[in-house]
Chain A
Amino acid sequence: MPFDPSDIMKDRITDIGPPKYDKFFPPIIKENYGKWKYHEILEPGVLVHVSETGAEVYTVRVGAARLLSVDLIREICDIADKHCGGYVRWTTRNNIEFMVDDKSKLKPLMDDLRSRGNWFPIGGTGASVTNVVHTQGWVHCHTPAIDASGIVKAVMDELFEYFGSHKLPAQVRISLACCLNMCGAVHCSDIAILGVHRKPPIIEHERVQNVCEIPLVIAACPTAAIKPKKVGDYKSVEINENRCMFCGNCYTMCPALPLADGEGDGIALWVGGKVSNSRVPPKFSKLAVPYIPNEPPRWPTTVQTIKKMLETYASDAKRYERIGEWIERIGWEKFFEKTGIEFRHEHIDDYRLAMTTWRTTTQFKF
């Protein structure tokens, strides 16, 4: 039965969840589920996984923008139909993976991918800069301080050679979040690009009482900087601007407190985070550059600063060291010296638990 707009409850199906996980497995994956023995990367972007049964699956990983049109998805389907038996998958980091069950099918697949302009760059494995996880930015979000897709495009254009090669000391995970909400959870990335505001909210006194729940707005402020205030006939709020750290949480609760400002907003860069437990425990990313202005359309200062950090790391770190492990070995004073990034008062924490980040030893480097 087709959808009947006059009776939306007719034949209604709800709460079914996603299709069962094995419904879309290619046969080689279904047959060898739980039987994989080892894997190898044959060249950047190309993996083989070998099963205890002797079966092999070859995977070609390609980068993609996270924002895809249905036309491009249909082209991905064409490729998967032609070479991969009609199956394809995406990775957590927005890469597309095409899988074939025989080595002889690998070259035709790769030739086909390479013949389609620059839509399907092969790489993103091993000690590379793999695809960037990111948020919506100006394309679709209501609280961003920066764009997302455009900055990612500019950064990946510049770091392209590191996507399709394994010449870094270890993998480098770059992530972008367009405001402090970090819906991409970028706080544990080797390099994180974060949109920041630097001006307290505008208070639209005549709108506050109509569009906001004032007690919720007051409760939303982590530093208790917001108080109720009557302005003329309007019930509104006042903000102690000295206590504002520009988190934007009040704006989330109240559209009459906008923070966005073309001159005030921009990018902070963070370094040295990781999520894997390999060698050393997971780490948060730490502040490298407090502020770079928004420079659309290609954000040259941001791109070049990231490249400088990446290439300093690449030339200085030991094999297997992630950026955070490298910095901890050489010390933060050496990180700032080697990268030429200015160390400023913004780098010294003055929020809660700040003292745990201050140096309480005479051990440092000159």
Chain B
Amino acid sequence: MAGRGKLIAVIGDEDTCTGFLLGGIGELNKNRKPNFLVVEKDTSITEIEETFKSFLTRNDIGIILINQFIAEMIRHAIDAHMQSIPAVLEIPSKEHPYDASKDSILRRAKGMFSAEDFR
């Protein structure tokens, strides 16, 4: 195991964030920047995307958990992320059950058997 322990970040609806914060992942750093974003009805896609990108650039974050329906809003940003750290994990939300066919990783794995791979 190398280096310091990293954080787990969450982008999700209120209940998802509350649950994970109860689990003990929450942090407010010296600059009062949290490692979570509660997405509400009035949260703009730009704000979500900016937060996601800021989590990607922070080197103290190891895993980003994101509700799948929110991931759908910023799919291009998630697909563009190719590094293994931080890992992006799509999780279900209350109103939107998890759909494996939408998951970035599984779509990449599925792509393994597409015609493009045989070219």
Q: Are A and B associated in one complex?
A: no
